[in-house]
Amino acid sequence: MKTNAFKGLLRRSEFLVFCVLVAIWVLLSSINHNYATLNNLCAIMKTLSFYGIIAVGLSFVIIQGDSDISTGASAGFSAVLGTAIMLETRCMGMLDTPQEWLGVLLCLLLTMACGALIGLGNAAMVVRFNMPPFIATVAMQYVLNGLKMVITDGAYVYPLPNALLSFVKQGIPLGGNKKIAVSFLILLALLAVAHYILTYTTYGRSVYATGGNRVMAQLSGVRTSYVRTRNYMVLHALVALVGVLNAGYLKQGSPGIGNDWHMVIMAACAIGGIKFSGGSGNMIGLLIGLFTLFSINSAIAYVGINTFLQDVFIGLVLMLIVVIDRVRSNRKVRAQ
């Protein structure tokens, strides 16, 4: 019985990726003693948190059998839109007052609502008009890239409210200048909520069913159109949150925020065992995938390899995972 359980564990993609993650840290710590330090770990957690928050939302979209290429453009658009709203409305009239934090929160919520509308637009094209997700979301990507340049005319949006700047600096102190960033704490909270939804709720089962076999899910009473639309809207609300938080870290709303993020996020999902074919994946695997991807990116910098190889690595990983997924699918078909 224990042997079968161990064999089952070995077959799980999350366990194999976790072994790779441990091997990376052991190997790199022997090559460069500065790699396996609390400073580097905190830096990795802070960096991956932005991508990770979006990856949580994108995981639901992929599990339901869809995809979204517009997340990076949506993050950049939300960053300049949110910061522009803060400046134009003077944080809803609360700038430089004790209630400035409330004004920032209201502007953030308004930006997230706009993000949800972007997700609704994607869902309308994909769900209502049956456009291929790739075509629909690439079209939205071009629209958002154009709109963010219209809003800013290519310039940065600043100065940002002190309440936003101070919030993004918050975290759990670990001594000295080291701390767990607030963005990573938000990511952990979202992962916990998403894990609960996917594992223990009817809605989570509906997401898996929609991605596993949409026709059978509909015949079983699952409102697949509602599930798909809702997940697109939640995804882009989270993207908007990340856009504003990233602008706070950069101290300006930059049109460059989000450039090429979508490929990194998709790579993290793929490494974490979330299959592009739909119907499979979990949040534990996603977290491991995020740490593995960003540990390797950090390792490339520490070893002194050309950092442009990060893009090469991400591309190769995506190709390899797609090939492996295709081979496994073909074997299942033959077995049947």
CA 148/CA 162 separation, integer angstroms: 23
Identity of residue 280: S
CA 222/CA 210 separation, integer angstroms: 8
Q: What are phi and psi of 30, to 5 degrees?
A: -80, -30
User: Smallest Cα–Cα separation from 285: which of 310, 268, 263, 298?
Assistant: 268
**Per-residue pLDDT at 334:** 59
> In angstroms, what CA-CA distances link 208 with 54, 202, 205?
19, 10, 5
CA 309/CA 43 separation, integer angstroms: 20
**Per-residue pLDDT at 323:** 74
Q: Which two tokens stand for residue 309?
A: 């190889």
For 322-332, b where at least 16 C-beta lie within 10 A, e where not — what string? eeeeeeeeeee
**Per-residue pLDDT at 336:** 54
**Per-residue pLDDT at 246:** 97
Identity of residue 32: N
Sequence length of the chain is: 336
Cβ-contact 75, 245 below 8 angstroms: no
Residue spans of the domains in the chain: they are 35-259
**Per-residue pLDDT at 45:** 95
> In angstroms, what CA-CA distances link 33 with 27, 267, 269?
10, 28, 29
DSSP 128: I
**Per-residue pLDDT at 12:** 66
**Per-residue pLDDT at 145:** 95
Q: Where are the alpha helices (DSSP H) in the chain?
A: 2-11, 13-31, 38-63, 71-88, 90-93, 100-123, 133-152, 162-168, 182-200, 202-212, 214-219, 224-250, 261-271, 283-303, 309-335
Cβ-contact 295, 47 below 8 angstroms: no
CA 300/CA 41 separation, integer angstroms: 15
Q: What is the mean pLDDT of each run of 10 residues along the chain (336 residues)?
A: 51 75 86 84 94 98 97 97 96 96 97 98 97 96 95 91 95 87 97 97 97 95 97 98 97 93 91 89 93 87 71 75 67 55
